[in-house]
Structure 1
Amino acid sequence: MPEDRRLEFRIGINLGDVIVAGDDIFGDGVNIAARLQESAQPGTNHIAGAVYEQIRHKLPVAISDLGPQSLKNISEPVQVIRVTRADATEPGRTGAIPAFETPPVPDKPSIAVLPFQNMSGDAEQEYFVDGIVEDVITELSRYPDLFVIARNSTFIYKGRAVDIKQAGRELGVRYVVEGSARKADNRVRITVQLIDAEKGHHVWAERYERDLADVFAVQDEITQMIVAALPGRVEAAQTALAKRKPPQAMAAYDYLLRAKDYHHRRTKEDNVKALEMAEKAIELDPEYAQAWAWKLCILGQSWARGYGVIRSDLAAVADRIAATLERLGAEEFECHRLLGAARLYFFSDHDRSLYHHERAYELVPNDPRIVSQMGELLICLGRHEEAIEWIERALRLDPSEASRRVAYLAQAQFFARRYEDALRSSRRIAPLGASHHAFMAACHAMRDEPDAAAAQAREVL
């Protein structure tokens, strides 16, 4: 339909009590739904977290978790989820990635690893298959000569029929990896294909069938074969050659994969289950540094999402876990990444945080989480122009996490006195909460635009 004739709706949906009085309806359920509708951009739907819990796994929708948001005249932050149909299409798009500009393909070899198919016939094994993919993405991200798209962006395609050429265009990569995995008894079978997304032909394919205990060796072999099949010379930094230390018991690794799976679901109930799984992994192997690191991450999510955790209590637990990780001397990416985050967010220990961030980046330079965190840390250190560069790179590595990172980008631009850029970035954030309007009012005030500043300030009231 021509764009000038297209009707674009924005919809807000909440789950809560409603008071009916004659022809009118009242109550928090209605008020929050109205604010969700206002926060949505034309053509998008925003639902509360409680609604998502009722439809998860039941409807073919693609979601983007925007986190807790402050909505106008609503006293408590509301978990906001942006929803689109899984098969929604626009010209040239699948609806998977936020509709910012299509990213250009980098000069260096660029690659995205899509979710593998679970061939076990058992939906309960999804966590294992997803964990294999996540590990392969991390291993590829160790290579500084590659450009690797993040898990969060590639997993938007999970459970969908994917046009490889279109996915390559949306993600801005030349190569795509797809495959399948099956775990049965103590055996694992993995099939992998490397595809040229521009031309649509296969570059390399292999099938592996090994003992479950060899799964780490298989992941390393898959990574090395993918890198070898790419054109040109791809060199690993010396730190990338460091091998992951496997757990003493495979069951500990299995529990860690379950913990990650629950963690990625981002609900209060799943966060509790994630913590239980991480603690079981630690119980089986008290020296398993990655399990300790992920326990720290899960606790951090409890605090960040307002799951009833008291910050002072969490900081005490985080301090004990950090001490344990430093005692173990774990030279692993996840350990340094999460220690850096803990030192930044819980303790404001910027010097120690910088050490861990720099070490994590040396180990895995393509992970958008460490790239973004480094940008946030540089804001705190007053190095605002550098922060802008880091956050912009994180946005390119992981387009799916745009709103949160764009907010930090706007902050860095504001402190760098690039107020017009800060306003432009802020307009990309959805939904715009009270804090965002207050920030935009400050930008207009610094540009000596009192009318525009007043208009934004009114949105806060």
Structure 2
Amino acid sequence: MIDQKSIAVLPFVNMSSNIENEYFCDGLTEEIINALAKIKQLSVTSRTSSFYFKNKIVTAKEIRENLKVATFIEGSVRVSKHKMRITVQMIDTLEDFHFWSETFDRNPENVFEIQDEISLFIAEKLREHIGHLEIKEKLVAPVDVAVDVYREYLKGRYYIMKLDYKNSIKGINILKEVINKSPNFSNPYLDINLAYVNMGTMGILPSNEAYEKAQPYLLKALELDPNSSRSQLNLAWIECWQNWNLKKAYNHANKALEIQPADDIYLTISNFLTVEGKLDAALNYLDKALQLDPYAAINHHYKGFLYYLKEDYKTAIPHLKKALDLDPKLLFPPIYIGICLLMSGQSNEALTYFSSLEGVSVKDLTKLGGETMCYAKLNETEKCNDGLRELETYLKTELLDKAFMFLILVNALLGNNKKVIDLITQAYDKRLPLILLLNPSPILKPVKNHKRFKDIILKAIPDNLNYKQKKSYKQILLDTSEIKKYSKELEQIMIDYKLYLNPDLSLKDLASYIELPANYVSQLLNLGFQKNFSEYINTFRINEFKERVLLEENKGLTIMAVAYDSGFNSKTVFNTFFKKIEGITPNTYLKSNS
């Protein structure tokens, strides 16, 4: 079922011949997406998925089916020397009708006022159509830079968002010129940092080199604007992957989420949960990222990666292939497609797959490392040893991250456990980020109880789920402070995920989202909310029903149709709970509020 408070903003069409206006159109689209994402009750499709439809002719039905939104915005921009005409229209994806269209004729110099004006206008019209939204007086903060400098900034960002080496470097150079002209403008520092981090994460640059180049720009951005969502997200990444401090990483990620929910923040929290070995919770957060950005290749890759870690190789492969369909240049999926084949008993198929890889995958050791893993599994000793020797030659090059990873995995497949531990120790001493993902690796099962391995993982991740002493659950399960803490977390989860809309939701399902045993959650509901599970969930469903049943678009539906849309699956339960909570029948409520 599609949430009525969901929207996508498609890339605005450049109606001018000047390529410079293309940067402005993309920048305007991004700014409106970011502005609307600040409205807490609204689910806004992220940039990657919106821009997937750039220069494509699509129907309302296609947008509804592919982006799972009730509404979308499309528009165009025509710019002359002294005049800018922006046309914006809002389309209902279910009924396929334009319920408003507006044209803005403005001075191109007033770019920031234009962005805020259009964002607020969209938000107000959306509120009229779908129901109450809390909207701030301003959604786009003014930026103290000259318009021509801001346009250059948009140009630089346009190139780095292409995510390949050549365009990233071109974008970085443009953004450096912007910094020279406006040294107190925080955005270009954040975007240069983003460009380097992306290249390091994607394997285009060695991770240590990329992070080292990125850090000065992030530090300057934090000095200029420490409280932006993007600043907090970057701090979260640094605390996890560079400082190995998960507690601080979570704090920064949650702050970013409070400021502006976005798919990359949910993905980041999913990464952190993976490091801890909390794979079910990681999948929950990853699904939220996919909901907001279903066309982000990295989101599909990560879902496949999580299923690989859960040893569900059959489920993992389609997600990994989907990631490659969306972005054939993405470096990670080929590694895990081949490994999934290998670990599911298809060693020859895996060898054929790795041997057929071409292009960028050859350069990042995927082909060499993958083939060597297959030779280890197939007991082709001579070929395996040749591969190991070649991989070792890369330990003193910029490819040492991948070389260590494949050497560890190959030796694990060979049963050389002492060599595996020695290699992991060397990688730990070099503080390579791959250490953080060794904990949940299914290939490393044979060494996970080895004392040296446990010591290394616990030094890197003191809160590691697999190696911490298991909690001995108390008779009195939660104390007062814990009840207060988890009650707040649970309320936020219910708001973010709307779990109550699932008619088959169970106490165990709810417990998986908050990472507590079901017994604890049962006690939490009783002591924190004075409700049992059914009362707690059905209270949300009743509130959802009360909001939905008064919407103009639902006037033609029966009361029970709206109740079912609100998460109920029984007429008796619905009527009983409604009377219990509201003191009147649903019919009486509807009549008194019509």
Shorter-chain TM band: 0.5 to 0.7
Aligned ranges for residues 231-380 of structure 1 at < 5 Å?
A: 231-236=129-134, 244-307=141-204, 309-365=205-261, 367-380=262-275
Shift of 1:216: 2.1
Question: RMSD of aligned C-alpha atoms?
Answer: 2.8
8 Å Cα contact 2:266/2:286 also seen in 1? yes
Shift of 1:265: 2.2
Residue matched to 2:300: 406
Q: Distance in 2 between matches of 1:112 and 1:118?
A: 18
SS in 1 for 2:191: helix
Q: Distance in 1 between matches of 2:197 and 2:66?
A: 31
Q: Distance in 2 between matches of 1:353 and 1:206?
A: 43
Q: Distance in 1 between matches of 2:308 and 2:37?
A: 31
CA deviation profile, 1:154-180 (whole Å, cap 9, x unmatched): 222222333233323322222111111
Residue type of the partner of 1:252? V
Q: Distance in 2 between matches of 1:203 and 1:152?
A: 26
1:304–1:253 distance in 2 versus 1, CA, 3 Å: same
TM-score (norm 1): 0.67
TM-score (norm 2): 0.53
Residue type of the partner of 2:266? V
8 Å Cα contact 1:144/1:236 also seen in 2? yes
Shift of 1:349: 4.1
Shift of 1:214: 2.5
1:323–1:158 distance in 2 versus 1, CA, 3 Å: closer
8 Å Cα contact 2:88/2:101 also seen in 1? yes
Shift of 1:383: 3.2
SS in 2 for 1:400: coil
Pick from 319, 330, 346: which aligns with 1:428? Answer: 319
SS in 1 for 2:213: helix
SS in 2 for 1:318: helix
More strand by share: 1
1:419 aligns with 2:311: yes
Residue matched to 1:211: 107
Q: Distance in 2 between matches of 1:179 and 1:273?
A: 28
Stretches of structure 2 lacking an aligned partner (at least 5 in a row): 325-332, 354-369, 372-594
Residue type of the partner of 2:181? L
8 Å Cα contact 2:14/2:76 also seen in 1? yes
Pick from 22, 33, 41: which aligns with 1:137? Answer: 33
Residue type of the partner of 2:158? D
Residue type of the partner of 1:389? N
Q: Segments of 4+ in structure 1 off by > 6 A? A: none
SS in 2 for 1:317: helix
Residue type of the partner of 1:235? L
Shift of 1:182: 2.5
CA deviation profile, 1:8-42 (whole Å, cap 9, x unmatched): xxxxxxxxxxxxxxxxxxxxxxxxxxxxxxxxxxx
Shift of 1:306: 4.3
1:186–1:384 distance in 2 versus 1, CA, 3 Å: farther
Shift of 1:325: 2.5
SS in 1 for 2:72: strand
1:386–1:108 distance in 2 versus 1, CA, 3 Å: farther
CA deviation profile, 1:113-170 (whole Å, cap 9, x unmatched): 1121112222332111111011111111122212222222222222233323332332
8 Å Cα contact 1:290/1:335 also seen in 2? no
Shift of 1:401: 1.8
1:221 aligns with 2:117: yes
Shift of 1:324: 1.7
1:329–1:382 distance in 2 versus 1, CA, 3 Å: farther
Bigger-Rg structure (1/2): 2
Mean Cα deviation higher: 216-225 or 130-139: 216-225
Q: Distance in 2 between matches of 1:384 and 1:457?
A: 28
Q: Distance in 2 between matches of 1:281 and 1:436?
A: 41
Shift of 1:389: 0.8
CA deviation profile, 1:38-73 (whole Å, cap 9, x unmatched): xxxxxxxxxxxxxxxxxxxxxxxxxxxxxxxxxxxx
Pick from 107, 112, 115: which aligns with 2:8? Answer: 112
Shift of 1:353: 2.9
CA deviation profile, 1:203-260 (whole Å, cap 9, x unmatched): 222222223343222222222222222234343488x967535133223321221112
1:186–1:379 distance in 2 versus 1, CA, 3 Å: farther
8 Å Cα contact 1:318/1:342 also seen in 2? no
Residue matched to 1:83: none
Shift of 1:423: 3.4
Mean Cα deviation higher: 178-187 or 290-299: 178-187
Residue matched to 2:281: 386
Q: Distance in 2 between matches of 1:355 and 1:223?
A: 30
Shift of 1:379: 1.3
